[in-house]
């Protein structure tokens, strides 16, 4: 799968342009649409995950090498832990499960 590189780095240029487009799209959704706040946040978080995978797959070659599947597993597990920590904290602390003193 991973050959030594030749020619023009199309993959990198493609990933870079896609990152810029996704960033500007997130800004446009945030400031120039009349969508409800929750919808905006959901959309831009989805866009952020898309951008993260551009970095992981096109720039970092996550699945490359003998242990590529292990590398990917580590990152997927890290993402799982991150989502549990972040979403779990918001759920417990901010969504009406606490006493309001």
Identify which of 99, 57, 95 has the alpha carbon closest to the alpha carbon of residue 76: 57
Under a CB-based contact definition with an 8 Å cutoff, are residues 43 and 31 in contact?
Answer: no
Print the binding letters for residues 14-43 with another protein: x by CB under 8 A, - otherwise.
Answer: -xx--xx--x--xx--xx-----x--xx--
**Burial class of residue 1, CB neighbours in 10 A (0-12, 13-18, 19+):** exposed
Residue matched to tokens 């990933």: 15
Is residue 65 a contact point for another protein (CB under 8 A)? yes
Which spans of this chain sit near another protein (rule: CB under 8 A)? 2-6, 9, 12, 15-16, 19-20, 23, 26-27, 30-31, 37, 40-41, 44-45, 47-48, 51-52, 55-56, 58-60, 62, 64-67, 70-71, 74-75, 77-79, 81-83, 85-86, 88-90, 93-94
């Amino acid at each position: 799968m991973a050959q030594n590189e030749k020619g023009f780095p199309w993959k990198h240029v493609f990933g870079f342009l896609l990152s810029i487009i996704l960033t500007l799209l997130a800004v446009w959704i945030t400031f120039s649409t009349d969508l409800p706040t929750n919808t905006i946040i959901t959309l831009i978080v989805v866009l952020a995950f898309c951008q993260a995978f551009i970095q992981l797959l096109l720039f970092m070659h996550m699945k490359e090498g003998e242990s590529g599947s292990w590398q990917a597993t580590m990152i997927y597990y890290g993402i799982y832990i991150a989502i549990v920590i972040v979403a779990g904290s918001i759920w417990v602390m901010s969504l009406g499960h606490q006493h309001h003193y």
